[in-house]
Amino acid sequence: MISAAIFDMDGLMFDTEALWARYWEVSLSEFGYGFTRRFMTDSLGINKVRQLEVLREHYGDDMPAEEVFDRCEGLVDDHISREVPKKPGLDELLAWLGDAGVPMAVASSSPMHEIEACLSSTGTRRFFDTIVSGAEVGRSKPAPDVFLVAAERLGVEPATSLVLEDSVAGVQAGAAGGFVTVMVPDLAQPTDQIRSLAHACCADLNEVVSLLESGRL
């Protein structure tokens, strides 16, 4: 039995990764830049500091990365203030873990205000013992820092703790930290290499519940 469950947020708990992709396209266009699939892939699952680096890597050092990011984040914030769509199986998984007495954390690359807004508006905040934002750690995913901080706050060992992720960078981070890492893909599909790092790849969170019920996690 796992000792804790640590959740990524965007694309894993909520269908917000697609919002970021939509509003990246809008904000980049407003500043005269084109949105590419490669940029979308590279932008998934990382914190603001790394996001600014990725913007400059793709569009040049002279691009107004801070302004583009702030515009995109503002559009996302406005959207989630009105609607935060849950991913299939989220309620069932939270209920199962809660009934089993498994401590839970959110460890997301998103800023804290967005994490709190999504959890509060969906009524899911009550399930989590702690929240860690990517802004609180020195290194972004694929480094394991945000997950290690979550495990430390929960008082659990990584080797017995479940990390749930949708992104490639997140799976790499979970594996690097020695966690039981499960991928539930959203916009990015797993390669053979990523499958080799993950304990399992599931179609949705309902499948994660099935693995827990059968004792395979």
pLDDT in tens, 144-185: 999 999 999 999 999 999 999 999 999 999 999 999 999 999
Q: CA Rg, the chain, in Å?
A: 17
Supply the pLDDT for residue 160: 97
Exactly one of 8, 42, 145, 166 is catalytic; name it.
8
Q: Residue 46: pLDDT above 90?
A: no
Q: Residue 44: pLDDT above 90?
A: no
Summarize the confidence of residues 55-73 as an average pLDDT.
95
Residue 99 catalytic? Answer: no
Supply the pLDDT for residue 188: 81
Nearest to 142 by CA among 8, 37, 23, 15: 8
- Find out whether 9 and 115 touch, Cβ atoms under 8 Å: yes
Helix, strand, coil content of the chain in percent (nearest 5): 50, 10, 35
142 prior amide bond cis, ω within 30:
yes
Supply the pLDDT for residue 197: 96
Residue 91 catalytic? Answer: no
Q: Residue 127: pLDDT above 90?
A: yes
pLDDT above 70 as % of the chain: 100
Q: What is the pTM of this model?
A: 0.86
Q: Return mean pLDDT, the chain.
A: 94
Cα–Cα distance for residue pair 83/187, rounded to 1 Å:
19
Supply the pLDDT for residue 106: 98
